[in-house]
Chains A and B, each alone.
Chain A
Amino acid sequence: MSKIRKAAKEEKKKEIVRVACRLFAQRGYYNTTIPDIAEEMGMSVGNLYNYFKSKEELAKYIMQYSSRLLGEEIRKINEENIPTKEKIYKIVRKFFEIGQQQPELIEYFLRVFLSNREVFEEGCEGFLCVQEVVTELMLFLEEGARKGDLRQQDFFPAFVTLMGPLGGMVFLQGEKVLPKTPLEYSDELAENIWRALKAD
């Protein structure tokens, strides 16, 4: 395959992801079919199968795609030479920025990934589909503690302290109870997370 064709195929994949993501989030995983997605994309069902062999594969791919996207962004922050506290601010902001630009990804995470675990049983067990994000967060936490900025503790409480509030905020937004956008709460939330994690 030529480079151009490869790139074009990648672009198409991204588009499918965005559309499928929206439909899954709106109608639910089981109420969305491959023909629905093909129709929305304006492509034939047969052609769509060229990209994804099954609905399940597509569903998993969406998770991997978002994880890679967010993971890549956190990695950039990780590699910056800035204090741990500032990194927390940046990670939180980045998360909400992506949420604002591509709300379907977050919706998908909450309404499909977390609600239809059976779909993700094989190939997405544990952290497999969200490996990039988890890896970057591990690296962030490890470095923070190594420098003495973050309090030593087990990984999971620290992980949940970091990720839990972000999910909570997005959930409230989905429920339409937030007076402002999550991005506007970003710094305040980051401060809370920092205070909860920082070394005494």
Chain B
Amino acid sequence: MKTLLWIQGLTCNGNTQSVLNGENPSFYELLTKVRLLFHPAVSYREKLHNVVERIKKGKEKLDILVVEGAITGDERFGRAGKYSITELLDILSRKAEYIIAAGNCASFGNIPALYSGNPDVRGLQFRFEKKDGYLPPDFKTSSGYPVINITGCPVHPAWFTQTVMAIVEGKDIMLDRFNRPKELFMYLPHDGCIRNEYFEWKVESEEFGHKEGCLFYNLGCRGPLTHAPCNKVLWNRVSSKTRAGMSCLGCTEFDFPLRENYFETKKNIGIPEEVPLGVTKRAYITITGVAKTLKNERLTKKLEETD
């Protein structure tokens, strides 16, 4: 059975909490397929130090290393037990067959990397867009994979547990340019959003608090610009931000913490600065101009009042 070790850097624990919400498989179901060496919130007899020393001496094999949280080498700002976070990585990254970055902090550095008081904060292999993480750009574990980034702030439990299942079952995992599992991150939150028809016909929400309307034009929705299957693999298996009425924040992308004004669409003279992935601004403006003029009557009413 493959082994799994979960360590934490600078984190909010949100990825752990999220993974605990998992279904199909749940976290504990997953742990019948892999042997957990240690998890800071779960283990009760095992101590991190002992596990690490065993791995170091070759007495314990480490198959899957999961890292939650951003990496800093500065011990004043972050430690994991008796180790600095980078010390821990130095020992474990050489031994692990696979390394998974769970969430945006471990992937890109994310919010903790914004703190100017500690400039030494990064992701495992990236720092925001650049391959300037703690591990070298060409780093690969013994399986031949780079660090597999399962991004998101937080990570979605199913994305995580299913990636581990893919490893356990020896499946090929296709990766995208940020080393995310392609088959998950080839979707956009826009795909499957229940507001999609409003998007199509340019019926734009002017304000929050309504079932109707698309949040792209005024309220900052990043659904058409973000890679994540949030409206395919639903959150907590019941909904998603855009379904509930909240703009997608683009939290699976490296630039999530670098952007500002999440609840507003950046516009220049009333025209959105960024347009959906895959279309030119010219095409977007043309099509929206047409859609705006040719109305879909149904979408102009409160849903309760439609035929």
B136 interfacial by beta-carbon distance below 8 Å: no
B138 interfacial by beta-carbon distance below 8 Å: no
A178 interfacial by beta-carbon distance below 8 Å: no
Within 8 A of A (CB), among B259-307: 268-271, 273, 281-282, 285-286, 289-290, 292-294
A-B contact count (CB 8 A): 58
With A128-B290, A134-B289, A135-B289 as contacts: A146 and B282 at CB distance below 8 Å: no
Q: Are A146 and B293 in contact (CB under 8 A)?
A: no
Q: Are A141 and B290 in contact (CB under 8 A)?
A: no
**Residues of the B chain whose Cβ atoms lie less than 8 Å from the Cβ of A10:** none
With A142-B269, A146-B273 as contacts: A126 and B281 at CB distance below 8 Å: no
Report the bound CA distance from A142 to B270 in whole Å: 8
Q: How far is the CB of B134 from chain A (nearest CB, A)?
A: 35
With A135-B282, A135-B285, A146-B273 as contacts: A141 and B293 at CB distance below 8 Å: no
Q: How far is the CB of B297 from chain A (nearest CB, A)?
A: 14
Chain B, interface residues (CB within 8 Å), range: 10 to 19
Determine which of B268, B269, B281, B289 lies in contact with A127 in the assembled complex, contact meaning CB atoms within 8 Å: B289
Report the bound CA distance from A126 to B292 in whole Å: 9
**Residues of the A chain whose Cβ atoms lie less than 8 Å from the Cβ of B289:** 126-128, 131, 134-135
A112 interfacial by beta-carbon distance below 8 Å: no
Q: Are B293 and A139 in contact (CB under 8 A)?
A: no
Report the bound CA distance from A128 to B192 in whole Å: 29
Q: Are B286 and A142 in contact (CB under 8 A)?
A: no
Q: Are B293 and A142 in contact (CB under 8 A)?
A: no
**Residues of the B chain whose Cβ atoms lie less than 8 Å from the Cβ of A152:** 268-269
Q: Are A131 and B290 in contact (CB under 8 A)?
A: yes
Which of A15-23, A58-66, A153-161 lies at the interface?
A153-161
Q: Mark A109-142, 1 if CB is under 8 A from B, else 0.
A: 0000000000000000111100110111011011
Most buried by A among B270, B271, B285, B289: B270
Q: Are A150 and B269 in contact (CB under 8 A)?
A: yes
Which chain A residue shows the least CB distance to B273?
Answer: A146
A145 interfacial by beta-carbon distance below 8 Å: yes
Chain A, interface residues (CB within 8 Å), range: 20 to 34
Main secondary structure of the interface of B (DSSP, over half): helix
Which chain B residue shows the least CB distance to A130?
Answer: B289
Q: Are B271 and A142 in contact (CB under 8 A)?
A: yes
Q: How far is the CB of A41 from chain B (nearest CB, A)?
A: 32
Q: Are B285 and A145 in contact (CB under 8 A)?
A: no
Report the bound CA distance from A135 to B286 in whole Å: 6
**Residues of the A chain whose Cβ atoms lie less than 8 Å from the Cβ of B273:** 142, 146
**Residues of the B chain whose Cβ atoms lie less than 8 Å from the Cβ of A150:** 268-269
Q: Are B269 and A155 in contact (CB under 8 A)?
A: yes
Which chain B residue shows the least CB distance to A151?
Answer: B269
Q: Are A153 and B269 in contact (CB under 8 A)?
A: yes
Most buried by A among B268, B282, B285: B268
Determine which of A128, A136, A154 lies in contact with B293 in the assembled complex, contact meaning CB atoms within 8 Å: A128
Q: How far is the CB of B96 from chain A (nearest CB, A)?
A: 44
**Residues of the B chain whose Cβ atoms lie less than 8 Å from the Cβ of A153:** 269-270
Determine which of A75, A125, A132, A141 lies in contact with B269 in the assembled complex, contact meaning CB atoms within 8 Å: A141
Report the bound CA distance from A145 to B273 in whole Å: 10
Q: Are B268 and A139 in contact (CB under 8 A)?
A: no
- Enumerate chain A interface residues (CB-CB to B < 8 A): 75, 125-128, 131-132, 134-136, 138-139, 141-146, 150, 152-156, 158
- Enumerate chain B interface residues (CB-CB to A < 8 A): 268-271, 273, 281-282, 285-286, 289-290, 292-294
Can you name 12 extra interface pairs (CB under 8 A) apart from A126-B292, A138-B271, A144-B269?
Answer: A75-B282, A128-B293, A135-B282, A135-B285, A139-B285, A142-B281, A144-B268, A146-B268, A146-B273, A153-B269, A155-B269, A156-B270
User: Could you list some 11 contacts between A and B, CB below 8 A?
Assistant: A127-B293, A131-B286, A131-B289, A135-B282, A139-B281, A142-B268, A142-B271, A150-B268, A153-B269, A153-B270, A155-B270
Question: 6 tightest CB-CB pairs across the interface, nearest first?
Answer: A155-B270, A145-B268, A126-B293, A142-B271, A141-B269, A142-B268
